[in-house]
Structure 1
Amino acid sequence: MSRPVLGSILLASTDPARLRDWYVNALEPEAVSEDDAYRFLRFGDFHVLIDRRADVSDRNPEPGRLILNFDVPDAKATAARMDGLGVTWLAGLEDRDGSLFATAIDPDGNYVQIIELSPKHRAELEAG
């Protein structure tokens, strides 16, 4: 039996072009849709679609409800690039038993976490 696969998430915004540019500059997706009507950003096998919606506010009133986690190969370099863009941090880069975590706040107030898992934690995760 085939099982569902989570392949994308819709990130709604009142200013999708601004939000798209933030994600492109801060996290450098592998592919970016050239079609402004469909702002798809590809991160590995997962896509983030950024679209305009009239039923959302300018700022997320409950940003802790959903946190976007991005696995990065070098959390220190990613955090430094984001610092250069003037990113606001909810929690700066910290070492958690060998794995590195930081939580930024995107322009709409969503929480965006960068994670560099240690080889030990990655092996534990993959072992299930």
Structure 2
Amino acid sequence: MDHPAQKIVSDLRDNGLYLDEVGDGWFAVTVDSASGTPDAFLHLTDDDVERYVRGMSAEDVDGVFGPETTPAEASYRLTLIHLEESLLSHHPRVRYVVLDGEEILTFDTRSSPEFPAGDYQWTS
């Protein structure tokens, strides 16, 4: 695979996601183009994609897409599915999705806690 990160981006776009490159391997991902606000940020590099795909064993991919699909193609397809599931999981916060070796790491933004109304005083 010559440029696996670009292939993933292209395939995610073909599957209906909106991805805008924002620099250094980061892509702003929007599920609904009308919202204008990214739902997630995806970090992809060719090395990261290749490591993740290579991390799948023959047992992981054997027969998943039928006997006519090569293990390499099955590994790629599973990578695409795993990334898409991570990006589309319903969550109220913006997600950061990163390929890390054989894992897909997902980080959520955290908002400040909302305290109930009251007369608060800070002491130390």
TM-score, with normalisation over the residues of structure 1? Answer: 0.32
Higher radius of gyration, 1 or 2: 2
Tell me which protein shows more strand as a share of its residues: 1
Name the structure with the higher helix share: 2
